[in-house]
């Protein structure tokens, strides 16, 4: 196989299998090529991906040595995208009762969500993450987009127990904004003990829902190593119940009376 | 930019932007390359992707001419994957009360779900689809995976109205298996009139839920052009309420008493 053909095939493989460790002899075998040729292919891919701010190839030395593609999004690409998202969110038509914003169109766009997932995964690249946990329903797409890039599974916490999941652990929690007592459920078999967890959700106000997830995950002796949300909004009355998190955007103003929304990059921004 | 670098960059672009129409001069400009060079690059990509059964480049002639990448999965790749899925599903540990199977681990694996989405999208490549519609919660990942490949948005029908979505249309429907009356809700602003819709869900027994979605979509004058499910299961008592659909696997037996599950490729298989 010629270099040009190998590069096309390898790129498809790396993008379909992010963070998957593959040893060089596997490629050599598959493409019937010398190790030195494969190494040159990988150098080209690594160089182009870095130059475009889209990730890099990580080489793992030693007997079990090999390579894996780490998808990332450069700060420049990320910030340009987040600023565009802020502009979209400031459309007054999005205003809903209770200081909420209509975001289903944004969360319903797979390409946009995949992009946001890559930004979050880039921010969490130093964290130990075995699984992404979210709560039904709106956080699910962003959770999958993030998990895809991190190459880990997704576990979905539900607000209603379902017959189709077997025995489960449930907790009650107080929603920070509405002060209502709510329930969260996670099937026992969905999470092993002592797992490193990244929590993803779409929206955080006082943080009651995410705090509830942290308490539920405590029951599984999980280690919450990262928390990421699409949007955070300020809450006048309450202190935030969650300390360490990354937000993509920050809704600093959602004034229903004057139909005015102000959105700025969240604390994921290096300038925030 | 050299050919090898261009191929790496182009592959990333095509995989990140499936079915997105791009004119050749855009590439020529970006890579500072002659049209003939770009054409040769595209020929290489098209040839390798076809040979590997992973899709092809579609050339659109004329003044607005250009190219777009159609991700597909060859019959051979698809069937090998579906057979592997059947074996996974036949594990007796998956048996849950009521003839249900535990599938959250499969639906929680982004790579597996992305693969399944590609198989469904390949099956629907001739259908007019503007949007993928699913119902919360378990169908969501497969809906996004399918929509990602089709490059269309996702709309999520809910079983509970939520304050954060604005005014909505709701219907009552009878679940085919449990005979219970249930409610489905779709916010008005989430779907325009006369949209071509692909319905995706995780599981279909009698088809009551999908039939309910079809009725709800009727209220939006939508045209349901495709229906796809991960798994269908036979239902002794009822006739199926949905006629035209594609299933990836068919659970022909789920015998709780003898802990026996039999799964075969669904009607998406050319041999079914």
Which ipTM was obtained for this model?
A: 0.95
Are residues A87 and A217 both part of a single domain?
A: yes
> Is A272 within a domain?
no
Are residues A189 and A63 both part of a single domain?
A: no
Give the pLDDT means over successive 10-residue stretches in chain A (272 positions). 97 97 94 95 98 96 85 96 97 85 94 97 96 96 98 93 76 79 91 97 92 96 97 78 92 90 94 74
> Is A106 within a domain?
yes
Our CA-based measurement puts residue A155 at a distance from the nearest CA of chain B, in whole angstroms, of: 6
CB contact under 8 A, A155 and B108: yes
Best residue in B2, B4, B233 for a mutation probing chain A (most A CBs within 10 Å): B4
Q: What element of type H or E holds B130?
A: none
CB contact under 8 A, A147 and B110: yes
Here the CATH number for the domain that contains residue B159 is 3.40.50.2020
Our CA-based measurement puts residue B54 at a distance from the nearest CA of chain A, in whole angstroms, of: 9
Which pLDDT belongs to residue B100?
Answer: 79
Are residues A60 and A120 both part of a single domain?
A: no
Q: Residue B102 sits in which domain range?
A: 75-265
Main-chain dihedrals φ then ψ at residue A191, nearest 5 degrees: -145, 130
Quote the number of domains for chain A. Answer: 2
Our CA-based measurement puts residue B6 at a distance from the nearest CA of chain A, in whole angstroms, of: 9
Tokens of B168: 């909505």
Given A29, A50, A71, which residue is the final one in a domain?
A: A71
Closest residue, chain B, to A147 (C-alpha):
B110
Among all chains, which residue has been given the structure tokens 């298996």?
B177
Using a pLDDT cut of 70, give the percent of chain B over it: 95
Dump pLDDT digits (tens) for B25-53. Answer: 999 999 999 999 999 999 999 999 999 99
> Is A270 within a domain?
no
Task: Calculate mean pLDDT across residues B129-143.
Answer: 96
Best residue in A55, A114, A139, A144 for a mutation probing chain B (most B CBs within 10 Å): A144
Are residues B110 and B169 both part of a single domain?
A: yes
Distance, in Å, from the CA atom of B169 to the CA atom of B175, rounded to the nearest integer, reads 19
Here the CATH number for the domain that contains residue B55 is 1.10.10.10
CB contact under 8 A, B137 and A158: yes
Are residues A81 and A60 both part of a single domain?
A: no
CB contact under 8 A, A164 and B105: no
Given B50, B71, B92, which residue is the final one in a domain?
A: B71
Are residues B10 and B106 both part of a single domain?
A: no
The pLDDT confidence band at residue B119, using thresholds 50, 70 and 90, is: very high
Whether the CB-CB separation of A92 and A247 falls below 8 Å is answered with no
Are residues A35 and A100 both part of a single domain?
A: no
Distance, in Å, from the CA atom of B250 to the CA atom of B271, rounded to the nearest integer, reads 13
> Is A148 within a domain?
yes
Choose the closest CB to B140 out of A48, A105, A141. Answer: A141
CB atoms within 10 A of CB B87: 9
> Is A234 within a domain?
yes
Are residues B142 and B243 both part of a single domain?
A: yes
Whether the CB-CB separation of A260 and A252 falls below 8 Å is answered with no
Distance, in Å, from the CA atom of B49 to the CA atom of B11, rounded to the nearest integer, reads 10
Are residues A164 and A45 both part of a single domain?
A: no
Choose the closest CB to A164 out of B96, B155, B187. Answer: B96
B129 or B98: which carries more pLDDT confidence? B129
CB contact under 8 A, B4 and A7: yes
Are residues B110 and B172 both part of a single domain?
A: yes
Which pLDDT belongs to residue A161?
Answer: 66
Tokens of A64: 């079990």
A118 strand-pairing partners:
none
Closest residue, chain B, to A45 (C-alpha):
B8
Chain B residues touching residue A15 (CB < 8 angstroms): 11-12, 15-16
> Is A271 within a domain?
no
Given B16, B48, B71, which residue is the final one in a domain?
A: B71
Three-state SS for B151? coil
Which pLDDT belongs to residue B65?
Answer: 74
Choose the closest CB to A137 out of B97, B100, B158. Answer: B158
Chain B residues touching residue A45 (CB < 8 angstroms): 8
Dump pLDDT digits (tens) for B151-183. Answer: 999 999 998 766 567 789 999 998 766 778 889
Which pLDDT belongs to residue A108?
Answer: 97
Distance, in Å, from the CA atom of B9 to the CA atom of A54, rounded to the nearest integer, reads 10
> Is A18 within a domain?
yes
CB contact under 8 A, B96 and A163: yes
Main-chain dihedrals φ then ψ at residue A120, nearest 5 degrees: -65, -45
- Mean pLDDT, chain B, whole residue set: 92
Choose the closest CB to A114 out of B49, B109, B148. Answer: B148
pLDDT greater than 90 at residue B131: yes
Give the DSSP letter string of B43-55: HHHHHHHHHTTSE
> Is B79 within a domain?
yes
CA B45 to chain centre: 24
Are residues A261 and A130 both part of a single domain?
A: yes
Three-state SS for B267? coil
Whether the CB-CB separation of A162 and A169 falls below 8 Å is answered with no
Give CA separation, B185 vs A107, A220, B182, in Å: 18, 34, 10
DSSP letter (8 states) at residue B197: E
Tokens of A70: 């780490």
Distance, in Å, from the CA atom of A100 to the CA atom of A94, rounded to the nearest integer, reads 8
Dump pLDDT digits (tens) for B221-254. Answer: 999 999 999 999 987 666 788 889 999 999 999 9
Are residues B20 and B144 both part of a single domain?
A: no
Q: Closest Cα to residue B167, out of A257, A88, A90, A96? A: A96
Distance, in Å, from the CA atom of B234 to the CA atom of B38, rounded to the nearest integer, reads 51
Distance, in Å, from the CA atom of B257 to the CA atom of B263, rounded to the nearest integer, reads 17
CA A131 to chain centre: 11
CB contact under 8 A, B114 and A165: no
HSE-CB for A219 with a 13 A CA cutoff: 17
CB contact under 8 A, B7 and A12: no
């Amino acid at each position: 196989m010629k270099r040009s053909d190998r590069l096309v095939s390898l790129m498809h493989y790396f993008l379909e299998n992010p963070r998957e460790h593959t040893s060089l002899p596997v490629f050599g075998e598959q493409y019937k090529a010398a190790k030195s040729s494969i190494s040159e292919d990988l150098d080209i891919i690594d160089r182009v991906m870095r130059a475009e701010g889209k990730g890099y190839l990580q080489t793992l030395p030693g007997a079990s040595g090999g390579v894996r593609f780490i998808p990332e999004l450069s700060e420049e690409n990320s910030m340009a995208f987040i600023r565009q998202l802020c502009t979209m969110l400031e459309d007054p038509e999005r205003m809903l009762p209770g200081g909420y914003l209509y975001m289903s169109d944004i969360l319903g766009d797979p390409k946009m969500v995949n992009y946001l997932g890559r930004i979050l995964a880039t921010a969490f690249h130093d964290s130990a993450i075995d699984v992404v946990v979210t709560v039904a329903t709106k956080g699910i797409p962003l959770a999958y987009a993030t998990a895809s890039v991190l190459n880990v599974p997704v576990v979905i916490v539900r607000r209603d127990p379902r017959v189709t999941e077997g025995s489960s652990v449930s907790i009650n929690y107080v929603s920070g904004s509405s002060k209502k007592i709510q329930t969260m459920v996670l099937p026992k078999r969905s999470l092993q003990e002592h797992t490193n967890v990244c929590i993803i959700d779409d929206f955080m106000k006082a943080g009651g829902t995410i705090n509830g997830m942290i308490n539920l995950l405590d029951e599984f002796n999980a280690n919450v190593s990262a928390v990421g949300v699409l949007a955070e909004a300020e809450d006048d009355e309450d202190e935030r119940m969650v300390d360490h998190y990354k937000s993509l955007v920050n809704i600093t103003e959602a004034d229903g009376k004057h139909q005015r929304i102000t959105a700025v990059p969240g604390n994921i921004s290096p300038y925030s």
